[in-house]
Amino acid sequence: MNVALVFDRLFLLPFLNGLALAVLLALLGCYIRLREEWLAALGLAQAAAAGVVLGGMFLEPVLLVALVAALLAAATKALVGRTGNDAYAVMILFGWSVALLAAANSVHGDDLSRALVQGQLYFTGVPHLEGLGVLLLLAVAILPWISRRLLLGRFFPDTFRANGLGTPHHDLVFDLLVAVTLAFAATAIGVFAAFALVFVPPWIAFRFAPGWKKTLVGSVAVAVACYMVAFAAAIALDQPFGPVLVAVLLVASLARLLRRHH
Amino acid sequence: MSDALLEVRDLVAGYREPVVGPLSFSVRAGEIVGLTGPNGAGKSTILRAIIGSVRVFSGSIVRRPGTRVMVQPQRPFRLPEMPITGHELLHLTHAKDRDAPAALQPLLDPRVDRLSGGQFQLLQVWAALGSPCDLVYLDEPTNNMDPGTVEVLGDLLLAWREERGVLVVTHEHEFLDRVATTIVEVGA
């Protein structure tokens, strides 16, 4: 075990990238859970992963191809509409199949697909930091506007249509924000770690928080705390980051047992 | 056009085939118009046609330009774990919690998943009714309510009817007899 490595300047940039992702995914995860679309998050992350491996095949910048793949998946989701989990399950299986087939038929595919399973946070750099910085600013700017509309769309779903607003823009904006964030996340921390940050912190916060604002704060707090523990543990114990983060989040989720659901 | 907020003329609506109509009625400010009839008569289909989510085969639906609408759904959305308080629900529609009737005040602080089905339904109706809109559509608002809560709902509608027009879809004749200014029988 090498605890001193945790504080090495070498890991500062990856630490900040992961921190930004923890905040963004936990925040967006609350709205994804409210929309009952958490399976879509896994579908989008898997699509981004397929894009990464395909990008590796054709020597494109992998982050760019991951973004394009996630946006295509988001567009497909918008086209099929709210058809429930069936469409998202197909998206997951399609992404997984494409990713592994592409990996089997390319020089670097195996390395890339392993990185997407285990997470390669320690190799992320300035491009991720710049992209995530823009995403954080965007989220801070639009969430106050979009939050009320997303909630209104769930509790009073016909109100937009009844007022002549056929396809509300906020749905599209939110889907794009989620798709782009998941593309960054899949390339930085791996598919399942990204999915775990979308799913687990809101799952815990929904059980305990007394209101919506505290749900958002609680979800981010859980994600950041688990991320910091996982970041330090993975370096100190020389373990792959993605599985360590998922394990820490799962341990944290045991907190749900502390309070019975009413 | 008349001074109606909503004017429905000879409306025939349905899905692949027409299932209801022709039907005509209007809703003005201060009116509570009830659409009633037996199960399967097409009451909710009429409402969906007005909202724009089912097919209109003939007739016309005209909403006065600038009219703001709130729609309370027949099946309220509530996850098994729903960390949103009554206050937050009212803020979504800009309904003022300080104006909420006394019967609703105890429902504002808890999370909505801690309320009974009838209490949550009442809160949703108030969120629609207390919002700064001109026209409210209520789809089976008495669902999940015990007789006491239905009484409170009736009081709410009557107290706030001058503020806006209300279109209520329900199979509860007794409730409509108490609150409605006009009753339209569907499938009669």
pLDDT digits (tens, 9 = 90+) for A206-262: 999 999 999 999 999 999 999 999 999 998 898 989 999 999 999 999 988 877 655
The pLDDT score that the predictor gives to residue A65 is: 76
The percentage of residues in chain B with a pLDDT greater than 70, rounded to a whole number, is 98
- CA B92/CA B81 separation, integer angstroms: 19
Residue closest to A113 by CA, chosen among A70, A52, A65: A52
Task: Name the minimum distance, in Å, from the CA of B77 to any CA of chain A.
Answer: 6
The answer to whether residue B15 is domain-embedded is: no
The pLDDT score that the predictor gives to residue A59 is: 60
Return the percent helix, strand and coil in chain A, to nearest 5. 85, 0, 15
A148 touches B: beta carbon within 8 Å = yes
A207 touches B: beta carbon within 8 Å = yes
More confident residue, B110 or A108: B110
Q: Which residues pair with B138 in a beta bridge?
A: B72, B168
Amino acid B184 reads V
The pLDDT score that the predictor gives to residue B17 is: 87
Residue B161 has pLDDT above 90, yes or no: no
Question: CA nearest B90 in A: which residue?
Answer: A152
Q: pLDDT tens for residues B28-84?
A: 988 999 999 888 888 888 999 999 888 899 989 999 988 899 998 888 888 889 999
Q: Where are the beta strands (DSSP E) in A118-210?
A: none
Asked if the Cβ–Cβ distance from B71 to A206 is below 8 Å, we say no
A204 touches B: beta carbon within 8 Å = no
3 state SS of B71: strand
ipTM: 0.87
Q: Which two tokens stand for residue B138?
A: 């209520």
Is the separation of the CB atoms in B36 and B173 below 8 Å? yes
Query: CA angle, corner B138, sides to B135 and B139, nearest 5?
Result: 145
- CA A158/CA A141 separation, integer angstroms: 26
The answer to whether residue B121 is domain-embedded is: yes
3 state SS of B59: strand
- CA A12/CA A15 separation, integer angstroms: 5
Distance in angstroms between the alpha carbons of the first and the last residue of chain A: 43
Q: How confident is the model at residue A66 (pLDDT cuts 50, 70, 90)?
A: confident
List residues of chain B with CB under 8 Å from any CB of chain A. 50-53, 68-73, 76-77, 79-85, 87-89, 91-93, 111, 113-114, 124, 127-128, 137
- CA A25/CA A156 separation, integer angstroms: 26
- CA A168/CA B47 separation, integer angstroms: 20
Q: How many domains does chain B have?
A: 1
Average pLDDT of the segment spanning A60-77: 75
Which range in A5-9, A170-174, A239-243 is most confidently predicted, on average pLDDT?
A239-243
Q: How confident is the model at residue A202 (pLDDT cuts 50, 70, 90)?
A: very high
The pLDDT score that the predictor gives to residue A233 is: 93
Predicted TM-score (pTM) of the model is 0.89
The answer to whether residue B11 is domain-embedded is: no
The pLDDT score that the predictor gives to residue A42 is: 86
The answer to whether residue B19 is domain-embedded is: no
What average pLDDT does chain A have?
84
Q: pLDDT tens for residues B144-156?
A: 888 888 888 888 8
The answer to whether residue B12 is domain-embedded is: no
Residue closest to A89 by CA, chosen among A43, A36, A41: A43
Query: A11: alpha, beta or left, given left = phi > 0 and alpha = psi -120 to 50?
Result: alpha
CATH number at residue B82: 3.40.50.300
Asked if the Cβ–Cβ distance from A214 to B83 is below 8 Å, we say yes
Q: Which two tokens stand for residue B117?
A: 């089905």
What average pLDDT does chain B have?
87
- CA B133/CA B126 separation, integer angstroms: 12
Residues within 8 A of B (CB atoms), A 152-171 only: 152, 154-159, 161-164, 166
Average pLDDT of the segment spanning A8-24: 89
Structural domain boundaries, residue B160: 30-41+67-182
* Token pair 């009116």 in the structure block, residue: B31
Task: Name the minimum distance, in Å, from the CA of B140 to any CA of chain A.
Answer: 14
Sign of CA dihedral A195, A200, A203, A209: negative
CB count in 10 Å sphere of residue B66? 7
**Alpha-carbon distances, residue B160 vs B27, B142, B154 (angstroms):** 15, 17, 10
A217 touches B: beta carbon within 8 Å = no
Which residues, other chains included, contact A27 with Cβ-Cβ below 8 Å and sequence gap of 6+?
Answer: A139, A143, A216, A219, A220
Asked if the Cβ–Cβ distance from A34 to B88 is below 8 Å, we say no
